[in-house]
Amino acid sequence: MKKVQKIAVLLLAVILVVIAGCSAGKPPKEALQAAMTKTSEADSYAIKMSFGLDELEVPQDVATQGDAAATAAIVGMIKDASITVNAVYQKDPMRIDMDMEVVIPGDMQMKLTVPMIVTKEALYIKVPQIPMLPLPETITGKFIKVDLKELAEQQGVAELDVATQQKLGKELGEVFLKHFDEKTYFSEPKAADAGLPADLKVDQVIAIEINESNYPQTVDTIVNQVLPEVLDILLANEDSLKTLQLEKADIEGFKTDLEKNKDEILNTLKNDVKINTAKVTAGITDGYISYQAGKLDVAALDKESGQSMKLGIHFDVVYSDINKAPKFENEIPADAISLDELTKMFQLPTGL
């Protein structure tokens, strides 16, 4: 079951990148590629995003293992929760301001709003008021400052580099688009039929879908063509490896395993993994991506043990104010609390 889980997670990751990147008139693939590039080069924009976890089922053996069990428990808590993010991005000087709101339904509904500010040097997180978890007044409502350079040095990873991440995303997007057949995966629905916001004006709507009929072809394409190129791109760029917190030796080992066990991987993915829904609908306005909405519903089954895993998610993203002067609601906090100061606040007096 562990092998099935790892392979299924790998496929899901690739599919998510494929459908999330597919969001750009020109023919669909050409329009999409141009819109992805143009949007990544924008000086600024605002984003409103919503995200939801519709279904989650993990194998029993995973659910009882340490970290995996804790993760499953946390994710289970936010199942059916609504998560929204409002963000403003500026390229130079790099800054992202966002407000994340999480609403957990139930008899005792809980709502958390967490403002954050990201610059090239630091991450600022405002401490929210958490129901049933009283925090000292000295920190509630204050911003906690995380020095990104110091954090990167402690964890041995690369510093935050949005340009590097955008470049990597562009390269991976080009690989995915190159190998996915336009007639098989792409369509151009009318805006009125695509579920776009009524007040959103778009020049072109593009949908890309992986379904039961093209799933076997998708697996062949990903395993035989996409993954080998993706691995080569990562191996050729150490900055990308650091950004993703990956080691070169791990990628080389994965590449060897992929070639050695390709037939087994293909067989497992085609017979033990089922894609119920994997679709993204996107709108393009003035050559920029202005809207994305997606849904993923996938299941994996280990026929020997009878254990299964299921994952269902949906997301919705609206871009606005592209290349307009960004409007930041908060100033960079001058009285932010450092992590060291925060740690000292929670230290117990000696002798207790």
Helix, strand, or coil here: 42? Answer: coil
* Residue whose pair of structure tokens reads 């995996």 in the numeric block: 68
What is the spatial distance between Cα 210 and Cα 269, in angstroms, rounded to a whole number?
Answer: 14
Q: Is residue 50 part of a domain?
A: yes
pLDDT on residue 24? 40
Q: What is the pTM of this model?
A: 0.76
Q: What is the pLDDT of residues 140-175, one digit of tens each?
A: 778 989 888 887 777 655 556 667 777 787 788 888
pLDDT on residue 290? 95
Q: Is residue 336 part of a domain?
A: no
Residue 309, amino acid: M
User: How many Cβ atoms are within 10 Å of 204's Cβ, its own excluded?
Assistant: 19
Burial of 25 by CB count in 10 Å (0-12 exposed, 13-18 middle, 19+ buried)? Answer: exposed
Contact 302, 308 (CB under 8 A): yes
Burial of 75 by CB count in 10 Å (0-12 exposed, 13-18 middle, 19+ buried)? Answer: middle
- Least confident range of 67-71, 112-116, 187-191: 67-71
What is the spatial distance between Cα 255 and Cα 243, in angstroms, rounded to a whole number?
Answer: 19
338: which strand partners?
145
Q: Is residue 143 part of a domain?
A: yes
Helical axes 262-272 vs 2-21, angle rounded to 10°: 80
Q: Is residue 137 part of a domain?
A: yes
Contact 15, 210 (CB under 8 A): yes
Q: What is the pLDDT of residues 107-139, one digit of tens each?
A: 667 788 899 999 988 999 988 777 666 667 777
What is the spatial distance between Cα 115 and Cα 89, in angstroms, rounded to a whole number?
Answer: 14
Phi, psi of 286 (to 5 degrees): 55, 35
What is the spatial distance between Cα 345 and Cα 352, in angstroms, rounded to a whole number?
Answer: 15
pLDDT bucket at 1, cuts 50 / 70 / 90: very low
pLDDT on residue 134? 66
Q: Is residue 296 part of a domain?
A: yes
In a 13 Å sphere around the CA of 205, the CA atoms on its Cβ side amount to 16
What is the spatial distance between Cα 204 and Cα 336, in angstroms, rounded to a whole number?
Answer: 44
Q: Is residue 133 part of a domain?
A: yes
Q: Is residue 349 part of a domain?
A: no
Q: Is residue 244 part of a domain?
A: yes
Which domain, by its residues, includes 110?
2-321
Number of domains in the chain: 1
Q: What is the pLDDT of residues 262-306, one digit of tens each?
A: 999 999 999 999 988 899 998 999 999 999 999 999 998 887 777
